[in-house]
Each structure stands twice: as structure tokens, then as C-alpha cells.
Amino acid sequence: MKKLMNDADDFERETCEGVIAAYADCLDTLRDNERVIMSRYPQQPGKVGIVTGGGSGHLPIFMGYVGQGMLDACAVGNIFASPSARTMADAIAMSDHGSGVLCLYGNYGGDKLNFALARDIVALDGIDTKELLVHDDVASAPTNLAGQRRGVAGMVYAFKIAGAASARGDNLKKVAEITQHAIDATRSMGCALSACIVPRAGKPGFSIGDDEIEIGMGIHGERGIEVRKMMTANELAEALFSNIEGELALSSGDECSVMVNGLGSTPLEEQFIVYRRISQLIESKGAKIVLPHVGEYGTSLEMAGLSLTIIKLDSELKELLLAPARTPFYSNLNRIGVKGFAADSWTSMNDVKPERHHSDIDSSEERAARSTLISNGSIDARVIKQRFQAISKAIDVESEYLTELDRQNGDGDLGISMKAGFKAICGKLDSENEMDLGRLFSLASLTLNETAPSSLGTILSIGLMGMAKLMLGRSSVSMSELSSALQEGLETIMRRTGTKPGEKTIIDALRPAIETLQETLSLDEAARAAANGSEATKQMLAKHGRAAYYGAKSLGVLDGGSAVGRIIFESIR
């Protein structure tokens, strides 16, 4: 692996520090959370805040669009991994100017779960929020399931429209409505000539033959949906355009904006050759292109390839697209005849940031959930800490296996994130002399959410918090009571994620294990049930997460999340 970096574990932090150093005149980080990138431009009081968040590895998405006329702040996660809920909450709080905040981000499981938690946190401070999910990738789901599509480069158009609507003074409801209209009018599709390498993984997420091109991949290094023989630029342009235009139905007199987006290592010359053919195809429909974009707008590290995005414009969307914007990686001022903004001075928003109040286990919600269980058990904090240590060691041993599983139907970071998360839990619990089991599991939940920034990390954090609420105030529990807490954690996960058994997820290992434990009170039997449940996922069709994008290709592959569930129960025997 050849990469210009120092330590892989410092990759995201040093990237953020480099961007801030280069654009210190217009970007800043939150003093108490360096993963929050915010605009240094002064904001009008009463303006609706626009916030996004997502994993690193996509520059200029996400932090590159923080600035005037676009985003107020963004939350930064690890490579291809969701930011923590706390980081998202901090970004939202920093962006509230008194009229609420629109959370605008790509349609990915981890981001959805963490933004849900973040919105709950800021609601305690009285901050009004709405959320919109960008789902422009036509390759990731059929038309009748468009709401399940993932968000790719079309996010840039959504950021632009939302930011312009906010800047002209629209209220939160109106900003959300016009941004949703823009999302509905946007379609994207991409191709890859080579895979990217996640620094901590050290190897490509997939391989492509020298004479092959992969159609329909996402921006997280996932495989595409179809491999074809290498084609000419014109043939590629026609293939991508036909899939997009089939849904947008461009006709004579229509106006649209086009984005040819390089994914990381495709030369601009090649991007312009593709754009040349796209412009010819659109002109042949009698349609007109407004403010075209060619360049790197949303990348996937060093992946070679590009994506095509088209937004069909009406008069209002066109007006908002042409409204002035200035960010480190996006400015249309020289193209629309605007010399600058009225206010060209700015100060660090750290100097005027509102006070944050983080909710913790002593909030009214948690106090209301205190259990009335009789304290007669024998499983105490010492035992729980030992079991977390056992889980951490087992995850460490199997981390490469988990990563390999995840490469088959995901982005290849599962082993890395789980190893980091459970190691951090052990360190946190060892540093705290906490005997209350509810508080102990709450610490584990918050620590995992911060240090295992992935969909599964968030899912397990939700489950641990569900367990925490049931055990709050208890210094020990019986095996029966522990099984009840595990059941509560499982039900909390299923409620928040909408996941059911049989959908090829960690639930398929956890549910049989917990049911067996409740029936037998035997951890050995529960571990066997978890292993059987995990093995059964090979014959299941994935319906959630990135694996769902692969459809029938997910059959025959063991689900990585279920493997984690199996490891957990085998470790606590």
C-alpha cells in the first residue's frame, strides 16, 4: 500500500487539521470537538442552519461545502464511517441561529441512526430540527424503492439548494420542502476502474480486471452492481446517461445542471471527454444545461472512475442553483457575475458558540426508566468488566476475518471498527470505579458510539443503552435478570432500526441466543444458538445496510454483523 500519510490511526485527524490550516480564513473546528467543522463567516440571526455529516474519504464532501450559501457545519467520521451522535449534536447546536436546523445527509444506515440520536439530544435544549436524506443513486435500488437508494454526488446539489433557500430567509419548513424537491429531481450513477484502499485496512476493497469497468458502485469503496468489459468514454457516457435520463425524462425546453464527478484519481481530461458526450446527448433532447460542474466533488479516496449526476431544474431550483455560494471547494461567483458578498469579514465562531448541554444517564428519560428489579443477583460490575475484556480479546483475534467478511458485501471496516470500539470500552470501564450496572452499560454505549463509528457500532450502542435503562440503580443482577436486560436491548435495536429476524443482520444471531438464554439460563446454550443463527445468514437475502445493494449477490455470504453477535456470546460464556 502506497499512501502519503503518517499513521493510519491519525489519518482523519491530520486531514482535518490540514484542511483547517489551509482554509483558516473561512473554516474552524469546535473548540470542544475537533470533528465538528464549521463556517467562520458570520451568519444572519434567524437564519435556518444547514448541517450534514458522514465519513471521511470523500473530499470535498463533506467539509468542503461548509461556508457561505451552503452548509453551516458538518460532523466528520472516520474513513467511510458515520460520525458519532455526540459530534452530530454538537454540529447541530453550533448551527442553530434561532430558527431551527435542517439535517441533510446521504441515505446510509449509520448516519440515520446517529442523526436520530443527535436530534434527540438537541431537542432537550429546545432546538427544532428536520432531516432529509439524499437518495440519488439509481443503481442502488429500483424506481419503486427510490427511498432506499443511497446518497452520492447528488448531495452537492442538495447542499447548494438548501443553503441558498436558507440564505434568502426561508423558514425551516420551506427550506426542507424546496430541498426535498431538489432531491426528487436529482439522479446519479457511477463507474469504477479501480478500487480504493482504506488506510487501516491496507488492501483494496475489491479488484477489477485490466479490461473491466464496474458500473454502479457507491462512494464507500463498495463493489458495483455490474462488471462490463472496458468501454470508450462515449460508450460509458451513453450507458450512464440512459439510466438517469430514463427516470428524469428530459425533453425539449427542459433545463438541467450536470455534474461529472471524478472519484479520486481520474484525470480531468478524461472527465471532460465524458462531459463532452453528455452535453451532446442532452442537446439532442432539446434540453439546456445550466451551470455544469466537472471535477472532483465527492470522491472515494484514490478510486479511479467517475459519476454522472443530473438535476432537472424548474424556475425556483434554477434561481437557487445560481444564487451565490463560496466555500473552500465550491464557488460559483466568477460564473454568475457576482464579485463577492456584502459581508467579507468573519470571526471564529468559537468566540460566540452557544453553550452545549449534553444529556447523560441522569436525564429525566433515564430516571423514569429505573428498574424495580429486586437486588438479589450475583452478576456485578466486576463480572461485566471481565466479560467486556473477553469480548475485546476475541474481536481482536477475529478482526481480520470480520474485515474480510465485510469486504464481500460492505466497505471493509467492520473488524477495524469493532476492535477499536470494544478496546475503548475496556479502557473506559477500567478507568471508572462505577458499580451501578446501568451507568456501566451507559458508559459502554457512549464509548462504543464514539470509537466504533460504523452502522454496527451505532446499533450495538443503541442496544447497550436499552440494557442500561433496565439495570439503572442495580449493583448486581441474576442470570434471569441479565437475560431480560439483553432482551430489552434487542427490542430497542429492532424498534429503532426497523430490523426483523431473517433479514441477514446481527439480529439473526442475537435473537436466538437471547431466547435460548431466557429459556435455559445457560450461556453455553446461548452461544451455540448464536453460532447457528449466524451460520443461517448465508442463506438469507440482505435487506438492510450496504449489503442490500447487492441483491441476490448477498446469498451464500455470511453476514459480518451476525459474526460479531456470535463472537459476543461465545466470549461471555
Please report the beta strands in 287-439, taking only residues with DSSP state E, as ranges in sequence order.
288-289, 293-295, 304-313, 326-327, 330-331, 379-380
C-alpha to C-alpha distance for 568 and 390, rounded to whole angstroms: 9
- 460: how many CB neighbours lie within 10 A of its CB? 28
Distance CA 463, CA 442 (A): 10
Indicate if the alpha-carbon torsion angle 409, 411, 412, 413 is positive or negative.
negative
Q: How many whole angstroms separate alpha carbon 219 and alpha carbon 139? A: 12
- How many CA atoms within 13 Å lie on the side-chain side of 290? 19
User: What letter represents residue 316's amino acid?
Assistant: E
97 labelled catalytic: no
One-letter amino acid identity for 50?
I
Catalytic pick among 220, 357, 358, 544: 220
**CB 468 within 8 Å of CB 445:** yes
E-strand stretches of 319-370: 326-327, 330-331
Degrees (nearest 5) of the Cα angle 441, 445, 449?
A: 170
**CB proximity list for 436: less than 8 A, separation 6 or greater:** 381, 472, 473, 474, 475
Tell me the three-class secondary structure of 170-214, residue by residue: CCHHHHHHHHHHHHHCEEEEEEEEECCECCCCCCECCCCCCCEEE
How many CB atoms are closer than 10 A to CB 4? 4
Active site residues: 220
